[in-house]
A = this chain, B = another copy of it.
Amino acid sequence: MVLAMKTIRTAIFGSGFMGRVHLDALRRIEHVEVAALVGTNRPVIERLAAEFSIPTTTSDYQQILADPSIDAVHICTPNTQHFAMAKAAFLAGKHVACEKPLTISVDQAQELVALAAGKALRNCVCHNLRYYPMLQHLRRIREDGELGEILSLQGGYSQDWLLLDTDWNWRVDSSISGASRCMADIGSHWFDLAEHITGQRVTTLLADLQTFHPIRKQPKQTVESFANKLLGPEDSIARPVDTEDYGAVLFHMGQRTRGSVVASQAAAGRKNRLHIEIYGTRASAAWDQERPNELWIGHRESPNQILLKDPSLLHPTARSYADLPGGHTEGYDDTTKQMLKRFYASIAAPDAPAEFPQFADGLRQLSIVSAELESHKTRRWVDLAAL
């Protein structure tokens, strides 16, 4: 039976940081073959294809969509390209895994969700951070009521790779990345986790955004995400910036639950610190992406706990998210592996529920970002539809 299982043929669009993360993850997943790479950076895609015996390379994604032997595609290109590629892929009958943000507007995302609804195709938006084993454990103990009713959430997502006005990346440019940068890129990860873990929805929010550097110096060469920190001083030109470096948001989840979050790409010393704290009537939890194999569980009437990742101590339903024994740390690459493993398992089992974030989740995050932009502009609280 096992032997008869079909290998799924897939293609990756984009060869930047995220494209390579997807390639690495796919190589680790059973019954998947990376059959094609699509990209405009020819030297990189040729090299990757040679290294991993990938038969096809092209800069024309339509060519891949036209190939009936390709079952699924991964969209890892800059944000403004997501919509057209995902739409075309659906129309061509491909399963689609798309990097976040799903699109650069709510309207586009709604169109994709509607399109997906009518087809027997799997759709995944890559909120991979859900798949740190400790977060799946947290979600499950919350479902079991171990935290009681949630009273408040707080936290943030802090990085320093865009601290200086000499830092540049395509994400800074709203014409390529969309109107929101910091909130769309990293704030959305936080809200995805907050809603995924609590099972509750943000109902109203107030946002305060800030562009610390309204002018940045753009180097004359292209800079890949995060790679700017390894560059020396370069020839550059001053460019006005209209995307935010920082955002702080207060929010409600219904009548009782309150929340607060800050996202910043200008926080010296914080490299990739997503931290989330959830306070319930019975217990609390805190987690920090810079120490992802630990989960703090807070108690009023007994000592607090630190759960170090150990399959034997994870909730039984969370155990499959950890592939290594206790204390053997799992990292960032492993989260993408866990997410995509479930995406491909669902392709092989069309009737099974989707145990990964879907386009509807991508739309949800775009709605939140849209409300943040509106709140910042009007300086008022903005209500969200529950969706």
Contacts and interface: CB of A to CB of B under 8 A. Distances in A.
25 contacts: A24-B28, A27-B27, A31-B51, A161-B325, A163-B300, A206-B250, A208-B252, A226-B326, A229-B300, A229-B326, A248-B260, A264-B279, A267-B298, A268-B280, A268-B282, A269-B297, A271-B309, A271-B325, A290-B329, A302-B305, A303-B308, A304-B306, A305-B305, A330-B333, A379-B381
Given A297-B303, A305-B303, A271 B326 contact: yes
Contact of A17 (B252, B260, B325): B325
A300 B164 contact: yes
A342 interface: no
Contact of A327 (B5, B290, B300, B305): B290
How many monomers of this protein are in the complex?
A: 4
Contacts of A304: 269, 305-308
A307 B303 contact: yes
Nearest to A148: B268
Given A300-B164, A312-B230, A2 B50 contact: yes
Q: How big is chain A's contact interface, by range? A: 35 or more
A159 interface: yes
A156 B154 contact: yes
A137 to B, nearest CB: 10
Contacts of A328: 271-272, 331-332
A300 B269 contact: yes
